[in-house]
């Protein structure tokens, strides 16, 4: 791991990133003192051991005395730990435990009619649904897909609508997706390890935020003194 900085800037909001180790302990600290801080396989914060980090993955910079993270067109995105409930759009991806999910809307069922010999195709019954959750595997393959049978769907380790009993990073009831009038909300159910949503373009950061880049988890600390 290599760390390099541009010249210092006069900014009252000095911030740093804390690398969180696998056991949840604080690791290395990266002091954000420059105009910009590129994270990737090249730049100011380099993670050459992470195959999921793009060459130029993200940029941490200051705007109007606020720390901002911007996705620099990375393949795997930048994920922010949510606080409570946040709006989420169809097509958005989010992390819970070690699982990656995508929210999708569900079109109205269509009846293609019987085959030419008048035989009707047999299949599981289709129930009305407003949305579905798709598990995404490495390489983009789709794993488990579950259609919500009500306006809410809970993801967790056990006792939820969609369960991952072998995922040790998943809480019993980890997060919930709600639909209300065509709008969707993602809520973290006070899970131990948090729920993370992929940002679109850029996001302002606050003290105590957590950011996933590749397989690296970083905590934001902002000193406003």
Q: Which among 50, 46, 45 is positioned nearest to 33, based on CA atoms?
A: 45
Mind listing the pLDDT tens digit for each residue in 193-206? Answer: 999 999 999 999 99
DSSP state of 3: B
The token duo for 4 is 């390099």
Which tokens belong to 146? 């579950």
- H/E run at residue 142: strand 142-147
CATH of domain 14-77+200-223: 2.60.200.20
Check residue 114 and give its pLDDT: 76
Q: State the average pLDDT for the chain.
A: 90
> By C-alpha distance, which of 100, 96, 77 is closest to 202?
77
Q: Where are the domains of the chain?
A: 14-77+200-223, 80-110+122-196
Q: Of 104, 160, 175, give the one whose Cα is nearest residue 133.
A: 104
Please count the other Cβ atoms lying within 10 Å of the Cβ belonging to residue 94.
24
Architecture category of domain 80-110+122-196 in CATH: Sandwich (2.60)
> What is the predicted pLDDT for the residue at 116?
83
Q: Is 66's pLDDT higher than 70?
A: yes
E-assigned strand segments in 21-141: 26-32, 36-40, 45-46, 58-63, 66-71, 78-81, 85-87, 93-96, 99-105, 131-136
Length of the chain: 225
pLDDT band at residue 13, thresholds of 50, 70 and 90? low
| Contact present, 57 and 70 (Cβ < 8 Å) | no
Reading the block at residue 1, the tokens are 């791991």
Predicted confidence at residue 4, as pLDDT, reads 40
- Bigger pLDDT: 151 or 12? 151
- pLDDT given for residue 109 in this prediction: 64
Longest dimension (CA), the chain: 78
> Would 14-77+200-223 and 80-110+122-196 be classified into the same CATH topology?
yes
């Amino acid at each position: 791991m290599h760390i390099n900085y541009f010249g210092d800037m006069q900014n009252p909001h000095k911030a740093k990133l804390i690398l969180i180790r696998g056991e949840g302990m604080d690791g290395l600290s990266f002091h954000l003192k420059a105009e910009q801080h590129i994270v990737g396989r090249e730049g100011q914060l380099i993670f050459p051991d992470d195959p999921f980090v793009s060459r130029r993955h993200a940029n941490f910079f200051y705007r109007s005395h606020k720390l901002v993270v911007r996705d620099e067109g990375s393949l795997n995105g930048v994920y922010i730990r949510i606080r409570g409930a946040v709006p989420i759009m169809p097509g958005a991806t989010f992390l819970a435990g070690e699982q990656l999910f995508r929210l999708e809307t569900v079109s109205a069922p269509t009846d293609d009619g019987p085959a030419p010999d008048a035989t009707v195709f047999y299949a599981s019954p289709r129930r009305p649904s407003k949305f579905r959750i798709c598990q995404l595997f490495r390489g983009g393959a789709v794993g488990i897909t579950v259609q919500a049978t009500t306006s809410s769907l809970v993801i967790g380790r056990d006792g939820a609508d969609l369960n991952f009993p072998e995922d040790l990073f998943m809480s019993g009831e980890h997060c919930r997706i709600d639909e209300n009038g065509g709008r969707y909300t993602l809520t973290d159910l006070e899970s131990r390890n948090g729920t993370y949503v992929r940002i679109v373009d850029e996001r302002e950061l606050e003290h105590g935020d957590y950011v996933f880049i590749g397989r690296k988890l970083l905590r934001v600390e902002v000193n406003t003194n």
